[in-house]
Each structure stands twice: as structure tokens, then as C-alpha cells.
Structure 1
Amino acid sequence: MTYPQTYDASFFPILASDIPLVVTRNTIHHHFPLHRHDVMEISLVLSGDGVETINGMSHPMTPGTVTVIMPYQFHEIHSTGSTPLVLFNCMFGLELLLASPTNQERAIVDSLLATDSTEPYVLKLAPTAHRKVESLLGDLLVEFNRHNPYKHTMLKSKMLELLIHLERERTSSAQPSQLRPENTDPLASKILLYLHQAYREEISLEDAANHFHISTTLLASTIRRSVGKSYLELLHEIRLRHACSLLLSSDMSVADLALEAGFQSAQTFFRVFKQAKGITPNAYRKANVFPIS
């Protein structure tokens, strides 16, 4: 089986830093191919027309269309108008918002993650809301490209403001979805989001299967079909992303860091890390020093 291109920290190294966020303004002339990533993404169409397909479901993209892509959802975009499709894109790791959140901040993230996973999160904003969200994404882009003090805190603050506005729009408008599932697996989405939230815990394949009241065979095959990885490979990938962030943003020992990222021992972490990255955790830390602000 051929799997879509994966965009992760190898394409955007900053996604493995202490600021796991990338903000860009992009122009699509014809087609952006089918791909997936292990982070969330928010896009806003600024101009042009197109069609986006998410997990086999298509929706029109016109100025004011907002899409929130959940981790590992397959998606692609076709520009269909006489002019290119121009849009803001913001990709961010869940740890940006889930690190020591307040109760209200956690409620915002939980509301976002609790969105019905059988249908993509798509909003068509009215002109006033469009201008507001465009302004917020513009501010995020400016802050992202600067090297000011307290950059991490400012980016998190602006991300929360953006999510609050989107959630207010979603819950107040109660817009009926124009999409119909064609080739999607709600169970896969639920499993992936569960692992992204619970990866710090000791969760075996059996534990995860029991959580969803399904067999281990069904859970393993669902993950393999969805992301092309085994259960353990996926869990290690999620834990390694958090570990890389801690390596670059803290002076924690490798042993403490391994436990914080969900590995049961420093030896297991060292082996998995070296196998995935080709170098030791300490060598990675020395080679990828990221300025903390």
C-alpha cells in the first residue's frame, strides 16, 4: 500500500522545538498533493477558489473558509479558479496548548478534540468574522517570524485567542455540514487522538484496546490501515516528538526526560531515539540548540 506524504519535524524542524508551531502564507496554483502530518493545522482561504478533500470527503474552498485538520487526517487541495488559491496555514503540536494548561485553556482544547471526528471541521466565516480570523493569523505570522522575548508565551496566547474565536463561531452558528463520509474511519480518528493525549501513560496495545472495548487485532489493524504504522511505532513516534521538544527546551536529564515523554526506561528511550534519529539524545541536543525566549 502507498501512503500519503508525511510532513513532520523532518520537514519543519521547529515542530520538534520548544515552540512547535509553523505559520505560513501560501499560494496554490494547481494542486497540493495528498499528505498527512502528526500535528494539527488551521487554514484560512484569503482569495481564490478550490476544493479540499479530507479523508475522502470534499468541500469547496472560497474566501472565508476555515479548515481544522486533526492529526493524521489525509488531505489534499486543488485550485479550481482562474486565479491561484491563497491561504494562511498554521501547523502546531498539541503540546503547545496542553503543556500546563489552566482549566479554561484545557476546556478549549478538549472542545476542539471532541469535535465529531466523522466529519472534517470546516467553517464558512461571514465577512466580519473572516476579517477577525485573518487579523489573528496575520499577527501569529508576524510573531512567528520575529525573535522577541517571551515568544513562546505570546504564540500560545495568540493561538488560544484564535481557537476561542473559531470555537465561538462553530458553536454559535451550528453550521450544517455539507460533507458526507465516503472513505473515513471514525474509530481511527478516536484512537489517534486518544494516543496523542495519553502517550505519557503506560498504555500497552491491550490497554488501548480495552479503552475502546475492542480486540487488539482490530485496534492494530485500524492503526496500520490509517497511518501505515504498527501500534508501537506510532506510540514511539508521538513520544519522540515530545522528547525532542524537551531536549531542546529544557536541561532535564535524559533519564527524567524519557519518563516525562512516556518511555518506561532511559534504556528504551535511548534505543528508540537512536534508531529513529541516527544519533544519541545528547548529540541531538547539542546539534539542535534552539534559543529559548
Structure 2
Amino acid sequence: MRLKITYEHPEVPVNAFLWTPKARLEPLHVHTSLEIGLCVSGGGWFYFGEKRYRAEPGDIFVVNNQELHIAQSDEAEPSTYIFLNFDPNYLLAEDVRLLLPFAYSPGRFRNHIPGDDPLAGRLAPLIRTVWEELRDRREGCGSMVKSALLQLSVLLLRRESEPVAQEHWRRLVRDFAKIRPVLAFLEERFRDPLDLRSVAERLELGVSASRLSHAFKDATGKTFKDYLQRLRLNEAKRLLMTTDQDVLDVCFASGFQSAATFYRAFQAEAGMSPSAFRERHRVSAIFENSGP
């Protein structure tokens, strides 16, 4: 399901809360906010689409606004997390580069930061600070929350940038700034018939479709067409898991214009037909007996 996140105080578009996942796996979901989760006790698993990570105390999970995901507790020792949800525009207003650690690119994007990673040791106190400040609401809370969240985002940014040659990183930053309006547009309109040229013209980006195509591939690791298809496939999976819509209805509701294209793309992505995916991942049975 796609969750719409609201914030208690719009001037500080950040939510922080303690959460214990259920031992029975619930439906995967996606939401408009970015998210970071710190496992503070217990154990379990964290799912991102077809990926599954074991969760232990101290582990941190980075969630963007595109991947279907959910956490699950170990039945014998339920996990508890501190989760932060925040509006991407909160970071965008400071520095577009701060969104790069959350930009989905399969070659770079890493959801899991193990608790024994030194980076996790630096991020965990910042996550706790945001949670404590929003819980206590003391004088200057908004400034403390923003400061901690910016520090956290910079540390994630450095994790992404350090292994990359500086010239390539500078180009990546430039390209990401160019395509950010396109990503936001696709998030809202991926169900519509779209192509890169018409999107570029509609958004009045001032760059050629050819240049934008190269920038898109460099920044996301995917072509515009493949990126759009990923959004549609995620929506199709969500509908298959959470509704009783006919598969053909799911195809068109997800933005695919052709059933043949949908079936071919779904098989290539999931390794099974849409009907088989639904049977395997129905909300009532999904990974019901899942173990380590």
C-alpha cells in the first residue's frame, strides 16, 4: 500500500516513534516520506521487495520513497525500532545532494547498515536525539531536530561519495539536480502515458531530451523507461498483494498500456507470473512461516 504521511508540526516535517513489528508479516508498503529505522532491541527481519535482511540491535535501515518494504519481528524476541519519517523537501531546501543517499540506484543503494559498522555507531545517537527532541518538545526542539537530521544525512552522503572518484561524483550531483523535478513528477504521474521528451517539455527544464536522458541514467543507474517501469511494477505488486482486482485490471491501473508488455516485464522482474506472485504473496499468507 502507498501511505500518505502527515506531520504533527508542519514547520518540522519529521515524525519519530517507537514501533514493534508484528511477528506475522504484514503487507509491504511504500510512502511519500523518507525513512530511517534503528533496531533498538530484539530481532527479526526487514524486507525490501524481494530482499530480506536479518535485523539485530544497533542495525540501521534506510528507506526511500520507492521501495516496497516492511519489518517483521522474531516471534520469540520481538524487535523494537526508533523510526524517523521525514519530508524529502526538508533536505532539498538545504542541499539537493542530501537526497542522493536516498535515490534508488540498484548499483549503489544500500538499505542495511549493520550495527557493528562504525557508521551505525555515529548515526544511532542522532536518531535517538531526533526521537527524544520530538517526544519532549523542549525549547528549540525544531532547531535540534533539523541539526541532527542534517548531520545524519551528511554522514549518509559521505558514505555514498567516498568510494566514488571526485569528478564522477561532481557529475552525479549535477545530474541529480537536473533530474530531481522529473523524479518528483514520475512519483505522482507514473500511471500516465509518459515519455522523457514530453516530461522535459512539460517541466520546462531547459535541457534537451538527449542530455536529460544521459543525466537520468548517470544519476539513477537506469534509463527513464526502465525507471518508469520499476515504479509501475512496484504498484502492480502492491495491488496484487492487497486487492482482489483482476490481473488485467492491475496491469492498466499500474500504468502499463499493453498486457503483453506487463506480463513480460513482470516475469523478468519477479521471476514468476503476476498470478503466481499473488498466490505466493497474498497478505493472508505472505511468508507466514518465514524463518532465518
Same fold (TM over 0.5): yes
Taking structure 1 as reference, are residues 219 and 171 closer, same or farther at Cα in structure 2, changes over 3 Å only? closer
Taking structure 1 as reference, are residues 23 and 31 closer, same or farther at Cα in structure 2, changes over 3 Å only? farther
Please report the RMSD computed on the Cα atoms of aligned residues, expressed in angstroms.
Answer: 4.0
Task: Answer yes or no: is the 8 Å Cα contact 2:233–2:254 preserved in 1.
Answer: no
Task: Answer yes or no: is the 8 Å Cα contact 2:39–2:57 preserved in 1.
Answer: yes
Taking structure 1 as reference, are residues 208 and 149 closer, same or farther at Cα in structure 2, changes over 3 Å only? farther
Rounded to whole Å, the distance in 1 between the matches of 2:181 and 2:9 is 19
TM-score by length of 1: 0.55
Rounded to whole Å, the distance in 2 between the matches of 1:114 and 1:67 is 14
1:117 is aligned to: 106
2:83 equivalent to 1:89: yes
Question: How much has 1:135 moved relative to structure 2?
Answer: 2.0
1:24 is aligned to: 17
Task: Answer yes or no: is the 8 Å Cα contact 2:23–2:72 preserved in 1.
Answer: yes
Residues 42-89 of structure 1, C-alpha deviation per residue, up to 9 Å, x if partnerless? 011112111111021111111221111110310122212521101111
Task: Answer yes or no: is the 8 Å Cα contact 1:50–1:80 preserved in 2.
Answer: yes
Question: How much has 1:153 moved relative to structure 2?
Answer: 3.3
Question: How much has 1:29 moved relative to structure 2?
Answer: 4.2
Question: How much has 1:212 moved relative to structure 2?
Answer: 3.9
Taking structure 1 as reference, are residues 126 and 220 closer, same or farther at Cα in structure 2, changes over 3 Å only? closer
Task: Answer yes or no: is the 8 Å Cα contact 1:72–1:227 preserved in 2.
Answer: no
Please list, as runs of the form range in 1=range in 2, the aligned pairs for 1:1-293 lying within 5 A after superposition. Answer: 5-9=1-5, 13-14=6-7, 17-31=10-24, 33=26, 34-80=28-74, 82-99=76-93, 101=94, 105-110=95-100, 112-114=101-103, 116-117=105-106, 120-126=110-116, 130-168=120-158, 194-196=182-184, 205-206=194-195, 207-208=198-199, 210=209, 211-212=212-213, 222-227=230-235
Task: Answer yes or no: is the 8 Å Cα contact 1:40–1:70 preserved in 2.
Answer: yes
Question: How much has 1:230 moved relative to structure 2?
Answer: 6.7
Taking structure 1 as reference, are residues 60 and 222 closer, same or farther at Cα in structure 2, changes over 3 Å only? closer
Taking structure 1 as reference, are residues 121 and 16 closer, same or farther at Cα in structure 2, changes over 3 Å only? same
Give 5+ residue unaligned stretches, structure 2.
165-178, 188-192, 201-208, 215-221, 237-252, 256-292
Task: Answer yes or no: is the 8 Å Cα contact 1:123–1:170 preserved in 2.
Answer: no
Rounded to whole Å, the distance in 2 between the matches of 1:75 and 1:192 is 23
SS of 1:136's partner is: helix
Rounded to whole Å, the distance in 1 between the matches of 2:142 and 2:227 is 36
Rounded to whole Å, the distance in 2 between the matches of 1:223 and 1:198 is 8
Rounded to whole Å, the distance in 1 between the matches of 2:83 and 2:111 is 15
Question: How much has 1:15 moved relative to structure 2?
Answer: 7.1
Taking structure 1 as reference, are residues 139 and 230 closer, same or farther at Cα in structure 2, changes over 3 Å only? same
Task: Answer yes or no: is the 8 Å Cα contact 1:48–1:81 preserved in 2.
Answer: no
The percentage of counterpart residues that share the same residue type is: 19
TM-score by length of 2: 0.55
Rounded to whole Å, the distance in 1 between the matches of 2:53 and 2:37 is 13
Give 5+ residue unaligned stretches, structure 1.
175-190, 232-293
Rounded to whole Å, the distance in 1 between the matches of 2:29 and 2:78 is 20
